[in-house]
Amino acid sequence: MTSAAERAQIFAAQGQTCRAVAMYRKIVEIDPSAENLTMLAELYAQQGLHEDSVELHLRVVKMGLGR
């Protein structure tokens, strides 16, 4: 059985970026880890949503600084 993140990565690899983003948005609600936020940020960048991408990357950086 594949995880939600694995399915989202499959969608992304198949060029189904919108579906991958939808899945990662749900994943991030449950588990806002640096890895999940970074994946969503990269997908946003692929869609041309650069401000959203930067915002998520900054969240990841702040997470690292908070340790």
Q: What confidence category does residue 67 fall into, taking pLDDT thresholds of 50, 70 and 90? A: low
pTM of the model: 0.89
Query: What is the distance between the alpha carbons of residues 6 and 20, in angstroms, rounded to a whole number?
Result: 10
pLDDT of 1-45, one tens digit each? 679 999 999 999 999 999 999 999 999 999 999 999 999 999 999
Phi and psi, residue 16, nearest 5°: -90, 65
Q: Residue 1: what pLDDT?
A: 67
Nearest 10 degrees: Cα torsion 48, 49, 50, 54:
-140
**Domain 4-65 listed as CATH 3.40.50.10140:** no
